[in-house]
Structure 1
Amino acid sequence: MTAKTRPARPHPLNTYIERLQAGGALLPDSPDNVAEVVGILKSYGIVLDAYAVNLKYIGDHQFLVIFPFFKYFNGEVNPAKLFKHWWHDRINYEYAEYCMRGMMWHGGGGLEPYLDSDEFKQMAEVAIATRFKRNPLFKGMGSIFKDFWPEQVRQLCYTTALGQFWTVMSKIFLELSDRFDAGEIKTIPDVVQHILDGLVADAALPITYAPLINGKRYEIIPESAGITFLIDTGVPYVEAIFFRGTPFQGTVTYNAQEDQIPIDQSAFCYGALYADPVPIGGSGIPPTLLMQDMRHYIPDYFTDLYRRQGRDQTGLRVNLCQSFQKSMYCVTTAAILGLAPHPITSQDPAEKEANTAYLKGWMDRFIKSRLSNVQGMQLPQK
């Protein structure tokens, strides 16, 4: 048999391609997996709602506040909240800002080019001038460092955009939990379909930004800019947070001579789908904050599942990260299905070929991921 006639070797992750084309998901279907995914997403939905409220508050009411000491208080500063804050008996909003900065750094979608447009620059200049019209020091600082204030406004745009995105995702996850409690969600494909339906339903939802400055709103991202929920925030979020991420300090060196971090951002693989859960149980690793927040809201059946599986409660944050990764593979499955060129279960030869090529592109990115760890099997290597 010649090289020209030799059949093409199957993709090393061809099992998952076949599973998706058969109507399955990246995560195997089992009653325990369903309960684990829904349980962690219920907790995540509650936490996301809190994150979203705060991000939108910061964008709306903390516009270019130079020393935002109370930005995590959502406008309610009192002794009780101060003591809870100092005692760290609170939601860790720092994690939300970590995600926002990662999303801003990696860019993508329509938001990034809009924030480089002349339209944005003109609107930002008006808002900045209004904010500092009685502050000659900061106004003069903007004249010397011309990109400083516009860059802060760009960050605030990502802040509110992520808050609006998470508002929708929180609703999707909490409705999933309600449907599970009502007996409507019974399989992993049910979970994926619910998430996919939610993404599609709000795909065209406009992302806008008009902060309150001196009692008046100033448009910075108008609806006419055409920034929408799915393509301009959802897809860049998956790319930045699920796949690329940022290397956790203390786990790899930032020394360029050591060459431990890729030079090309597109080669980053530090996102949620790649992260080792063990370091996430320790301090100094940003997702530890998320696990700490979610542990307060896990449902009873989720705790019972852990107990039945013999999971050590002393390593709860590590266990929660493992469950969170399972749930994120379900969310990723929904994103893959939603962006496919044709219905993923199509048997039309041309459509199936196009879908297979599309899925191979995704599988290339899963080679080094922790997909095998949520399967209970080893990933084949190239």
Structure 2
Amino acid sequence: MMLKTPVQTVKERLLAGGALLPDTAENVLEVVGILKSYGVVLGHYWENLIYMSQGQFLVLFPFFKYFNGEVNWGKLLRHWNHDRINYEFSEYCMRAMLWHGSPPLDQYLDSPEFNELAQGAIQAKIQGNVFMQFLHRCFPEFLPEQVKLMVYTSVLGQFWRVMSPLFLDLSDRYDRGEITTIKNVVDHIRMGLIQAAPAPIIYDVKINGDIYPLLTPAAGLDFLTAAAVPYVEAVFFRSFPFMGTVSYNAQAYQIPADQGDFNYGALYADPLPIGGAGIPPTLLMQDMRHHLPDYLLERYRHSTRGLADVRVKICETFQKSMFCVTTAAIQALAPHPLTSSDPQERRVNDRYVELWVQRLSDSRLLAVQG
């Protein structure tokens, strides 16, 4: 009898209604604990992204964009001393989404309807500003591109505004004894995604007391297709190669020529460089380090090396949690319920799951099976 490969085992588990991550008490504790910390951090991230999309609209030199409109000496000194949330990571994720794109959102951003709305907001913003007017005449595509950047900033903020309380509620349910298995975790996230799926993605800015809509309800953009799925694609799968770990020299052939072949996302990243200079996830791990629940911190403290490599441990745990989020997305997007007993539906599901598992086969999927 042929032994099953680890990939085949994962596939069968998915088709049986299970998750990419094995269901163990240890995994449940780690995943819930890290998502609690992540939920707190995302709360800070989304608030700042929404502030930037509103309060820093077409500000070319946004020196105080991380201050959420509250600038004082105490906050400035803490900022200089790095005693703050690392909002740079949220921008890193936003730019990953911008570069890899969101098909329904990009289609709208390239439409005449959006161009007209964007031009209206631009003209209102540069009114009376001779420098900005001159810049717009010389480089007519520059400010519209900045508006698109602000759109993506708002979209990611709106996405995380849903995910942050979803993760915090998961932690509360765990504390009450309602979450005991990885399946419970996945079900909680999946139901949250399904409930938020049809919510409209809209965005407008206030300029000189007037409201200028940029993403209107008429655009038909919703949470699932315009924000959630593109986020998973851009941040979980593709992302950017980390500077200092691979060569950007085209002749070195260390980076795929096609960005669609990128696999530098959260599910693929090697946890060991975490803590090194220039590695963006280090910023996220540092932020989560300050908000770990006691039970997870205690687990790290009594493991090999204790807290000496805590950021690496956080990254490994975070990847486990992201495989749970990915499972929820796979289940939510499945053509039929994965536990269906109908033969035709099971065949369709089998092909669907096979594509996902094959794509994840060279990720950290097998590393989290042990």
- Corresponding residue of 2:243: 249
- Corresponding residue of 2:27: 33
Pick the aligned partner of 2:78 from 84, 96, 120.
Answer: 84
Pick the aligned partner of 1:45 from 39, 47, 70.
Answer: 39
Q: Distance in 2 between matches of 1:70 and 1:141?
A: 22
Letter in 1 for 2:299: L
Q: Distance in 2 between matches of 1:194 and 1:270?
A: 27
Q: Is the CA contact 2:15–2:353 (under 8 Å) kept in the aligned structure 1?
A: no
CA offset at residue 311 of structure 1?
A: 4.9
Say if 2:189 is the partner of 1:195: yes
Letter in 1 for 2:119: E
Q: Is the CA contact 1:11–1:360 (under 8 Å) kept in the aligned structure 2?
A: no
Letter in 2 for 1:295: R
Pick the aligned partner of 2:131 from 137, 147, 151.
Answer: 137
Q: Taking every aligned residue pair, what percent have the same amino acid on both sides? A: 58
- Corresponding residue of 1:372: 366
Q: Distance in 2 between matches of 1:125 and 1:258?
A: 42
Q: How many residues align?
A: 368
Letter in 2 for 1:127: A
Say if 2:277 is the partner of 1:283: yes
Q: Distance in 2 between matches of 1:67 and 1:108?
A: 27
Say if 2:7 is the partner of 1:13: yes
CA offset at residue 280 of structure 1?
A: 1.6
Q: Is the CA contact 2:43–2:160 (under 8 Å) kept in the aligned structure 1?
A: yes
Q: Distance in 1 between matches of 2:99 and 2:185?
A: 31
Summarize the alignment of residues 61-72 of structure 1 with structure 2, pairs less than 5 Å apart: 61-72=55-66
Letter in 2 for 1:76: E
Deviations 1:232-282 (A, max 9, x none): 100000000000110000000000001110011111100000000011221
Q: Is the CA contact 2:96–2:240 (under 8 Å) kept in the aligned structure 1?
A: yes
Q: Is the CA contact 1:62–1:71 (under 8 Å) kept in the aligned structure 2?
A: yes
Pick the aligned partner of 1:352 from 322, 330, 346.
Answer: 346
Q: Is the CA contact 1:281–1:288 (under 8 Å) kept in the aligned structure 2?
A: yes
Say if 2:180 is the partner of 1:181: no
- Corresponding residue of 2:118: 124
Q: Is the CA contact 2:202–2:215 (under 8 Å) kept in the aligned structure 1?
A: yes
- Corresponding residue of 2:329: 335
Where structure 2 has 5 or more consecutive residues not aligned to the other structure, the ranges are none
Letter in 2 for 1:281: G
- Corresponding residue of 1:4: none
Pair 1:91–1:334, CA change in 2 (3 A) = same
- Corresponding residue of 2:148: 154
Deviations 1:17-56 (A, max 9, x none): 1101112110011111101000000000000010000000
Q: Is the CA contact 2:198–2:224 (under 8 Å) kept in the aligned structure 1?
A: yes
Letter in 1 for 2:103: G
Q: TM-score, normalised by structure 2?
A: 0.97
Say if 2:203 is the partner of 1:209: yes
SS in 1 for 2:274: helix
Q: Distance in 2 between matches of 1:311 and 1:344?
A: 41
Say if 2:92 is the partner of 1:98: yes
Pair 1:63–1:318, CA change in 2 (3 A) = same
Where structure 1 has 5 or more consecutive residues not aligned to the other structure, the ranges are 1-9, 377-382
Pick the aligned partner of 2:213 from 219, 226, 232.
Answer: 219
Letter in 2 for 1:65: V
Q: Is the CA contact 2:155–2:227 (under 8 Å) kept in the aligned structure 1?
A: yes
Q: Distance in 1 between matches of 2:103 and 2:222?
A: 9
CA offset at residue 91 of structure 1?
A: 0.2
Letter in 1 for 2:166: I
Q: Distance in 1 between matches of 2:15 and 2:164?
A: 28
Q: Is the CA contact 2:6–2:366 (under 8 Å) kept in the aligned structure 1?
A: no
Pair 1:11–1:302, CA change in 2 (3 A) = closer
Q: Distance in 2 between matches of 1:252 and 1:298?
A: 31
Pick the aligned partner of 2:17 from 10, 19, 23.
Answer: 23
Q: Is the CA contact 1:103–1:237 (under 8 Å) kept in the aligned structure 2?
A: yes
Q: Distance in 1 between matches of 2:167 and 2:281?
A: 19
- Corresponding residue of 2:252: 258
- RMSD (CA atoms): 1.3
Q: Distance in 2 between matches of 1:309 and 1:33?
A: 15
Q: TM-score, normalised by structure 1?
A: 0.94
CA offset at residue 217 of structure 1?
A: 1.5
Q: Distance in 2 between matches of 1:206 and 1:11?
A: 42
Pair 1:12–1:75, CA change in 2 (3 A) = same
Q: Is the CA contact 1:204–1:229 (under 8 Å) kept in the aligned structure 2?
A: yes
Q: Distance in 1 between matches of 2:286 and 2:141?
A: 37
Q: Distance in 2 between matches of 1:14 and 1:140?
A: 61
